[in-house]
Chain A
Amino acid sequence: MQLKVGNIFIKDLQFGPRTEVKNQTLFVNREELTGHLLQDEHLAQVELEITHPGESVRIMPVKDVIEPRVKPDHDGGIFPGMVSKMFTAGQGTTHVLKGVSVVTTGKIVGYQEGIIDMSGPGAELCPFSKLHNLVIVANPVEGVTPYQHEAALRKMGLRAANYLGEAARNVTPDETTEYELLPLHKYHELYPELPKVAYVYMLQSQGLLHDTYFYGVDVKNIVPTLIHPTEVMDGAIVSGNCVSACDKNTTYHHQNSPVIHDLLARHGKDLCFVGSVITNENVTLLDKQRSSDLTAKLVEFLGVDGVIISEEGFGNPDTDLMMNCTKIENKGIKTVLVTDEYAGQDGTSQSLADGSPLATAIVSGGNANALVTLPAMDKVIGNIDPVEVIAGGFKGGRQADGSITVELQAIIGATNELGFNKLTAREY
C-alpha cells in the first residue's frame, strides 16, 4: 500500500467566474460556493471573504481552519465518514492546494474564540497568517441547539474545503511525496539497527467545542486505536474544537500533523516509525484510566523502544498526558511529551496541572498565558466585540485606539502541542 501526496503551490486566491486553478491562482466562484453551503438547513446566512498575508485584517472568532485537498482516484471529497462517503483514508493519491485554507467564523456557540491577524505581531505567532484564506462568515437559523450549530459550522468548513479541493483534481502537482505502508512485522525486519518509534496522538474530547472526530465518530466514544500515519492526510481526523484557541488542533493541523510528517521524513534514516495510536481526553477518571491503560497496551504491542506523546489542550488533559507517560514508561518504553505551558502572565507559576517523576523529557510549545498586544487592524472579519470574554481575554484588554491585549491563548494555533511551531518557553 502507498499514498502519493501531490502538492500544488498556490500563490494567490481570487474570486472569479469559475472555481479553478490557473497560473498558481485559485479562483473561487463566490455565488456557487455560497449556494452550495446554504443547502444546510441549519445555516441562515453565509458570506465569503478573501484575505492575504500581510494585510491589515483580523479574523475573529475563528472556529476551524481547513486545507483543501482532493483524491483524484475517488469520486467525492475527503473527510470520509464525516462529510463524504466512507473509504479508508491514506491510500492512493491525494492532491493538496498548498498555501490556501478555508477559515470558518461567525457567531459561535458559547464563547467566541480564536484570533488570526494577517499582519503585525499576531501574525508571527499564528501559522494561518501566512496563508491565503477564504473566510466563511456564517450564522445559523433561529432555534438551532448549540450542538446543531457547532455541527453545522464544522461540516460547512469541511464541505467548503472539499469544494475548493475539486479544483485540484486534474492539476499536475508541483511536487509529490510517496509514503509506503507496510504490514507491522515488516517494520521490524526492515531496519533492525534503527530505534523503533511510535506516536501517541491525544485528541481533545471534553464535550461541546472540545471535541474531535475520527471518520465521523465522536472521539469521546472511541477506545484507543491504531492508525496508519497517512490516514490524517485524507482527513480521517477532524477538529470540533476551538476554545482556548492557542493549543487546539484545527483540521489543518491534523491534515499536516507535524510529528507524523517529521517521523515519516526521518523514517529509515535515523529511526523506524512503526505506527501511531490515537486516544482521547475524556473528563471522567474511569475514562482516563481506560484510555491510558489501553494506549500503553497498544504501544507495547507495537514493540517499540520509544514514543512521542502529544497533548491537546491543558489542565484536565495534563492528567491524561501524565497517565499515558507513566504507564508507557513503566513498560520500559521511553517517552517524550509535547505540551504547552500555563505559567501565568508573569511566567512564575507552575506550568502544568499534573506531573510525574517519569516525565523527564518534555517539549514545550510556549507559555500560553504570556501577554501580547495586537494593534488595531483596518478590517475585522467576524466580530471583535467578545475580545474581553474569550479564553485569553480579560476586562480592560480592549483599548480605545482599537488595539487589544490578550494572552497568547486567544491566538489560534499559537502554542500548538503537535509541535507545529518554533515557539517554546525557557526558564530565565
Chain B
Amino acid sequence: METRRIVLYLNQFFGQIGGEDQAHIAPQSFDKPIGPGLGLKGLLPKNCTIVGTIVCGDSYFNENLEEASATVGEMIKDFDPHVVIAGPAFNAGRYGMACGTVGKIASEMGIPAVSGMYPENPGVESYRQYLYIVETGNSAASMRTALPSIARLAGKLANQEPLGSPAEEGYLSRGIRKNVFAEKRGSDRAIDMLLAKLQGEEFETEYPIPHFDRVDPAPAVADLSQATLALVTSGGIVPKGNPDRIEASSASHYGRYSIAGVESLTADAYETAHGGYDPVYANQVPNRVVPVDALRALEQEGKIGKLFPYFYSTVGNGTSVANAKKFASEIAHELVNEGVQAVILTST
C-alpha cells in the first residue's frame, strides 16, 4: 500500500511545552509525533506515518484566530498530509474550538480531519460538519479509549475507504444529510414505524425535527409617514430575462433591483423566476407579488415617508434554510445601513 502522511495538531499541554502558563505560545511545527502521537503511531494502519506535529497555545489560537489559522494552514500545507488529526480535546473548550478550526482549515484544503471531543465541548456544535469527531469522555483519562477510534477513522480516511454512519464508525453526527438506499421502500417503512409507535416499542425517526426559530414580530413603526419602507420578496419577481439567473428552485443568490422612478411593475419589464407556483397571474401583473403600485400610491398620499429605491428578490422554492438565513442577514444589514425603517416581505 502507498504511504499515507498524517499531521497532528496539539495544544501546548499535549504538545509537551507546558501548562496554562504556556497557553500564549504561537504555532510551532515539529517533524515528528509528540504526546498522543506516540500512542497513535502503533494504532494507525502500517502505511500511515505521522510526519509532523503542529503545537499552538490555546489562548493564542482563540485570541489571534485569523493569524493562528493562517500560520497553521501554511504549516499543514508544508507537510502535504492525507489526513489531519486534531486533539483529542475531551471537554477542554478552547482546545476544542481550536481543533474544530483546524478541521475546518483542513477541509477547505480538501484534507479530511479527525478529532476527539466530549459531546458537550463547544467545538462539536460549531465545527462538527467540517471534521469527524470521535466521542470521548470529558477528561484525558479517556485517552486510551479515544486513540484507537481516532486511529481507525484516520486510517480509513487516509486510505479513502468508505465510511459508515456515525453509529457504525463511532463519530459524533456531523449534521450532514446523505442519501442512502434503505432495504424496504418508504411506505413499508412507514407502516413498520407506525406499528412500533402504536405498540409502544422503540423506533427511530428518519428525520428528527430540529428546534425551530420562532421570531417575535418587531414592534410597529410609530410613524409610517416618516418611514422609509422597502420591499423584499421570495416570490421571484425579477427584471424580464432574469439577468442574475436566480434559480427556479433552490436559489443560491438573490437580486437587488432599482425601482427609482418606477411607478408600477409591468408585464413587459418584470416577470417571476419562481418555479413553485402558478406564474400566470404574477407575470400578468408583477405588482401582485411586489406591490410597487400600491406603495407609490401610499407614498403620494403621504401615508408612508418613501419607498426605498430598490427591491430585493429571491426564490423561496426549495431554497435551503441555510441559504435563506444568509440572504436575510445580508439584506437586513444593507437595509439598516441605508436607513430603512420597515420592510414588507411578500411570499407566494
Residues of A with Cβ closer than 8 Å to B?
A: 110-111, 113, 146-147, 195, 197, 206-210, 243-244, 258-259, 261-263, 266, 270-271, 283, 305-308, 310, 314-316, 334-336, 338-339, 341-357, 359-370, 389-395, 407-409, 416-428
Contact = CB atoms under 8 A, between A and B. Distances in A.
A208 B249 contact: no
Contacts of A425: 177-180, 206-207
B190 interface: yes
Q: How large is the interface on B (under 10, 10 to 19, 20 to 34, 35 or more residues)?
A: 35 or more
Contacts of A362: 205-209
User: Which of the listed residues A197, A258, A349 has the most CB atoms from chain B within 10 Å of its own CB?
Assistant: A349
A271 B197 CA distance: 13
A116 B209 CA distance: 32
A299 B276 CA distance: 30
A336 B190 contact: yes
Nearest to B164: A428
A420 B187 contact: yes
Contacts of A314: 318
User: Which of the listed residues B177, B197, B320 has the most CB atoms from chain A within 10 Å of its own CB?
Assistant: B177
Given A308-B191, A357-B209, A361-B193, A422 B203 contact: no
A423 B179 contact: yes
The 8 A-B pairs of least Cβ separation, nearest first, read A419-B186, A419-B187, A207-B278, A391-B249, A344-B320, A349-B320, A258-B187, A208-B278
A320 to B, nearest CB: 14
Nearest to A111: B275
Contacts, number: 241
A349 B318 contact: no
Q: Is the interface of B mostly helix, strand, loop or mixed?
A: loop
A365 B173 CA distance: 20
B316 A111 contact: no
B186 A283 contact: no
A280 B203 CA distance: 29
User: Which of the listed residues B182, B190, B205, B247 has the most CB atoms from chain A within 10 Å of its own CB?
Assistant: B190
Nearest to A195: B198
Contacts of A306: 194-195, 197-198
Interface string B240-261: 0000010111101000000000
A258 B195 contact: no
B210 A244 contact: no
A424 B197 contact: no
Given A363-B189, A393-B247, A424-B179, A349 B321 contact: yes
B209 A355 contact: yes
A197 B194 contact: yes
Nearest to B279: A110
Contact of B187 (A208, A243, A338): A338
User: Which of the listed residues A350, A389, A393 has the most CB atoms from chain B within 10 Å of its own CB?
Assistant: A350
B276 A391 contact: yes
B190 A419 contact: yes
Nearest to B169: A428
A342 B250 contact: yes
Contacts of A351: 177, 207
Contact of A391 (B175, B191, B248): B248
A206 B184 contact: no
A363 B191 CA distance: 10
B222 interface: no
Given A314-B318, A419-B187, 4 more contacts: A343-B320, A357-B209, A359-B209, A428-B176
Given A350-B321, A350-B322, A352-B209, A422 B186 contact: yes
A361 B322 contact: no
Contacts of A243: 275-276
A307 B190 CA distance: 10
A393 B249 CA distance: 8
A249 B228 CA distance: 45
B2 interface: no
Contacts of A262: 185, 187-188, 191
Given A305-B198, A427-B166, A409 B318 contact: yes
A359 B245 CA distance: 36
